[in-house]
Structure 1
């Protein structure tokens, strides 16, 4: 479990992370999203003890990462695929990491095979493409077989096959009961990969919920409901409002509902003996929801097209 509590980071007069609190649990992929300059990379660096918080705390598995003697056995991370000495081979790079954490040579061979770099293990990293460097960074994150994994923009430079492989890898790692936190700007991939989202803007929390719940908050999303008559519609509107949904009347017996799933609407209607003649979900993409709900948090907005 990753626990972030009131985490704050200031650089002079600039507040990069502002009283941020969220958690990421085991067994699911958590997408960590936000516009450029939102504070995502700074937050990840504080998780790993690479920069000191101005306030608040962040723990991984119940304690600060700096307290771990063999860090790679507890947390694996890819923050910057370019942070590899260009004159060092892929194999040498991973062997150095392994020795510093008392990890055997067989594990190095295993992760090189897993990321598809076994045949180029002797090549210098300086000659690698961006996609190959990403694979090497992922190998480094996997090296200690850790229960917690952090990835910052892991899909940059990968071809379509590589993107599919990474998607499958993240799902498998989460299925094994690990914590997987992924920061990415590729909304379509997060829509297919993440179970839950943590969305921040200007260093503050905007949302912490499932992908479906976040997308449902976008304008245009929601559920159309039609009951047998206007009386039942008013009754159902009251029931749904009590559940925290937003309800708008559409005609005599129709409702437009946001903030609650179609399945839950059906359950509540059944529980109150209300007959439904229509129950239609109007989905919004994760990208649409992200653009709408983070619009006020964009640091350098562009002009209208």
Structure 2
């Protein structure tokens, strides 16, 4: 479990993280979302003790991570797949980490096999593609068989097969009772992978809840209806209090009324319908709506 309480980080006059409080629980995948500049990377680094907070506390399974010897046995993390020595082989890179954390050498071969890199064990990392580096970073995170795992954009550079593999891996790790904290900008993958969400903007908490509840807080459901008489139906629905948008080819997008009521009004006024469906807001739409006033399009890192 990761517990963040009033966590704050300032760089001079800039407040990168401001009073964050949330909990990442075991047994589920928790997604970490926010616009560019929201403070996600800074938060992850403070959880791992790489950045010292200006205020507040953060603990991993009840203790600050810095207080834990042989850290890879407690937390596995992938923050930057490019932060490796390109002259080392994949096996040598992992063996250095294993030795420093008193992890048996045989574990190196096990995690390389798990991420599909057994064939590249003796290849130098400098010749790896981004996708291979991501897999190696995931292998390093798994090396100590830790109860807590943190990943920052782990799907970057992976091909479709790799994305599907990583999605299954994350779900399996959570299913084993581990705490899985995942930062990603890929909303479609977050929809398929995450159970819970922590959403921040400009360093402040926007939401900490289930993915379903967060999506439901976004844009209202839209009823799409196709009719040979869109003008008449639009007038009827508008008079009933709906907002109606004409999308062409007899298609109307209706908000403010449920599908059942739209159908009843069409029947009452004898307007034929060819199609009637309800589309709920996607995670991406909810995210864009709820973070619209928290976006900060700064260049540079995601502090």
TM-score relative to the length of structure 1:
0.80
Question: What SS is found at the alignment partner of 1:29?
Answer: strand
Partner residue of 1:130? 130
Q: For the residues of structure 2 that align with 1:122 and 1:287, how far apart are their CA atoms?
A: 41
CA contact (8 A) 1:220 1:282 kept: no
User: What is the CA-CA distance between 1:222 and the residue it aligns to?
Assistant: 8.0
Q: For the residues of structure 1 that align with 2:282 and 2:64, how far apart are their CA atoms?
A: 36
Q: For the residues of structure 2 that align with 1:107 and 1:145, how far apart are their CA atoms?
A: 9
Partner residue of 1:167? 167
Question: What SS is found at the alignment partner of 1:132?
Answer: helix
Question: What SS is found at the alignment partner of 2:17?
Answer: strand
Question: What SS is found at the alignment partner of 2:106?
Answer: helix
Partner residue of 2:82? 82
Q: In the alignment, does 2:297 pair up with 1:300?
A: yes
Partner residue of 1:73? 73
Q: Which runs of 4+ in 1 moved over 2 A?
A: 220-223, 248-251
Partner residue of 1:184? 184
Question: What SS is found at the alignment partner of 2:57?
Answer: strand
Structure 2 residues without counterparts, runs of 5 or longer: 224-254, 263-276, 299-303
Partner residue of 2:110? 110
CA contact (8 A) 1:215 1:221 kept: no
Question: What SS is found at the alignment partner of 1:21?
Answer: strand
Question: What whole-Å deviation, never above 9, does each CA across 1:268-288 have from its counterpart, x for those lacking one?
Answer: xxxxxxxxxxxx964111011
5 Å matches for 1:86-101?
86-101=86-101
Q: Which has the larger Rg?
A: 2
The count of residues paired between Structure 1 and Structure 2 equals 254
Question: What whole-Å deviation, never above 9, does each CA across 1:166-217 have from its counterpart, x for those lacking one?
Answer: 0000000000000000000000000000000000000000011111111111
User: What is the CA-CA distance between 1:220 and the residue it aligns to?
Assistant: 2.4
TM-score relative to the length of structure 2:
0.80
User: What is the CA-CA distance between 1:219 and the residue it aligns to?
Assistant: 1.5
Q: For the residues of structure 1 that align with 2:156 and 2:198, how far apart are their CA atoms?
A: 20
